[in-house]
Each structure stands twice: as structure tokens, then as C-alpha cells.
Structure 1
Amino acid sequence: MRQLESNSETARMARVGFLEGSTYPDGTPVAEIASIQEFGASIDHPGGTKYITDAVVGKRGAERIAARFVSKSFQGETKTTRAHKIVIPPRRFFRTAIAKNKQAWADALATSMKRTGMDSATSLGRVAMLMVSDIQKSIIDWSDPPNAPSTIRKKGYNNPLEHTRTMLRAVDGEVK
């Protein structure tokens, strides 16, 4: 205990998640988007988005006629959406990673403390990196609820928490 006490002056905690300074290219904090994904959100959309109803969509051999959003500069006959609510369902990737891995993290910390002669900075750093990896795995593996069909069409695949991979790359840890 005395050795732990003397070594703990250098490191008291590990912080893992979406730390200050992580932003999307437009300046939006990654933590804000991660929070929306984790807890869900409801957005009151004012409407006014242009769309067409005679678009050919689908893969070759399975094409069909459906509606599709178009850019503001689209030339041709369009319709416009009315005001509506957009619901982003919660995708509990962060809490799931914690629930699934908290015992393994505690065990890894205990093992590392023994192996490092009670060096808290090194041990917390190792566990922080394990936590980062487990949270990233949770982001990659997340599939339910799936993206909306319109989002799948836009992205070309159905990985609800991956698009630009900015959130995935922003998971970080630090020892203080």
C-alpha cells in the first residue's frame, strides 16, 4: 500500500471517451454527436427539402421507381417536404462497452499494477488504451437499430455509427 501511495502521486485517474478538442471538419464537437448517438435525439425539421418521386433506385436487375432527395440546384419538377420531426434512436454503444468490459478493465488494472510494481501511471495508461479499443469495437460492431432506408441509400451501407469514421478515430484516453 505504501508503494501504491507513493506512485499514485503521478497518476490518479484515466479519462476515456471523446475528449476536448475533438471536432468534425465543420467544428462540431465529436462529443456532441456521440452524445446524440448514445442517447438519441429529436429534431424539428422546418421542411423545404426538395425531392422527386420518379427516381430509379435499386441495384441492377432490381430497380424500382421511388422518391429521392435532390440538391437545391436540381433542375426539373420537384416536391418539397413539410415541417416534420426527425427521430434519431439511441444507440447505446458507450454504455454497452462499459457494461460488457468493466470487469475485464478492473482485472487488467489489477494485473498491470502487480506487473509494474504498482506504477499507477503506466497501469492506468495501459487500461485506458484497452478501454479505447473496446469502445471503438462497440462503435464498429453496432447494428441495432439499423439506419433508416434513406440513410443506407445515401451511405451505401448500414453501419449506424460509421460514416466518416471521425467519431471512431476520436475515441481517446488520457492519464492524469
Structure 2
Amino acid sequence: MAEIGFSGGDKLEKYLADALASAESAKQLSVGFMSGATYPDGTKVAYVAAINNYGAPGRNIPPRPFFSGMVEQKSPGWGARLGEALKFTDFNGKKALSLMGEEIVGDLKQSITDMDSPPLSPATIARKGFAKPLIDTSHMINSAQYAVDDDEPA
């Protein structure tokens, strides 16, 4: 039986070690409404988003799970997408997480746009002039961002 041998594995070993180090250099992706995002009156966007997502029965605000629903629907594919992003970025962890951040922010904004139930109350429609839930000034949708590690939100 013939034996098969390989030579020149030093370059491959170095490439894999460098790729692993680069992939491990980025540790965290945050997506949503960052702590510095506020409305002009100082109200935190994350606070308003949480009320809209989970509802506030005492204030007669029904839940509209735009964020938690998006996570439930999209998160099963995030691992495979991250693997693709790592390959695409030559295993640069920070770049791969940035690509994922862009994608997830896009999914979040689409979820806000698509949310249409429960319908708004007639009083809210009269005040706003239109019947689209979660969109009033567009401040919340425009505040959706991501950050990799401790970088500034993008």
C-alpha cells in the first residue's frame, strides 16, 4: 500500500493560526437601540422600543413584537451566515461581525416596516394622520444600529 505524505505545511499552519487569531479578535456584536440613542426630549429610544415590542397594558399599549419576533425568525440562520461572513472576510472577525451587524440591522428595520398588527386605535390614527404602527417620526427605525466590541455604533 502506498503512503501519502505532505510537505510545506508550515505556510498552511501559519495561515490557519493567523485566521484563528483574527477571527477571535472580535468578541461581541450588539444590535438594536444603543444607550446613547434618545428622542429630542431625552427619552431613550431603547425604552420606547421595549414598550412597543412588549406592550404596556396599563397604558393601553398592545405588544407589537417587531424585535423579539425578528430574533425568533432570523436567529436560527445567524451561525451559518457568520461562517459565510468569516470566509468572505478571510476570517477577519471584526469585519465578519460588522457584515452580520449590517444584515441584522436591515432585518430589524424591515421588521419595523412590516409590523401592521394589532392596528392602531382610531385616536392614534387621528393624531398621526396615518395608520402605520411603529412609525411616527421615524426616529426609532432610524436609530437602529450595531456595534462590534466597544466601537462606536454604526
1:138 correspondence with 2:138: no
Superposed, 1:21-32 pairs within 5 Å as 21-32=36-47
| Secondary structure of the corresponding residue to residue 88 of structure 1 | coil
- Runs of 4+ in structure 1 off by over 6 angstroms are none
Tell me which residue corresponds to 1:20. Answer: 35
Q: Deviations over 1:33-74 (max 9, x none)?
A: 00101111134xxxxxxxxxxxxxxxxxxxxxxxxxxxxxxx
Q: Mapping of 1:155-170 within 5 angstroms?
A: 155-170=128-143
Q: Gaps (5+ residues) in structure 1?
A: 44-85
Partners in 1 of 2:83 and 2:76 — Cα distance?
Answer: 11
- SS of 1:173's partner is strand
Q: Distance in 1 between matches of 2:23 and 2:85?
A: 14
Count of aligned pairs: 134
Task: Please give the TM-score of this superposition, normalised by the length of structure 1.
Answer: 0.72
Match for residue 68 of structure 2 among 92, 95, 98: 95
Q: TM-score of the superposition, structure 2-length normalised?
A: 0.81
Q: 1:127 aligns with which of 84, 100, 117?
A: 100
Unaligned runs of 5+ in 2: 1-15, 150-154
Percent of aligned positions with the same letter in both sequences? 34
1:75 paired residue number = none
CA distance in 2, matches of 1:3, 1:88: 51
CA distance in 2, matches of 1:115, 1:168: 28
Please list, as runs of the form range in 1=range in 2, the aligned pairs for 1:30-69 lying within 5 A after superposition: 30-43=45-58
SS of the aligned residue for 1:164 comes to: coil
- SS of 2:32's equivalent? strand
* Cα distance in 1 between the residues matched to 2:24 and 2:99: 17
Distance 1:137 1:126 in 2: 17
Q: CA deviation at 1:156?
A: 1.3
8 Å contact kept, 2:29–2:146:
yes
Partner of 2:144: 171
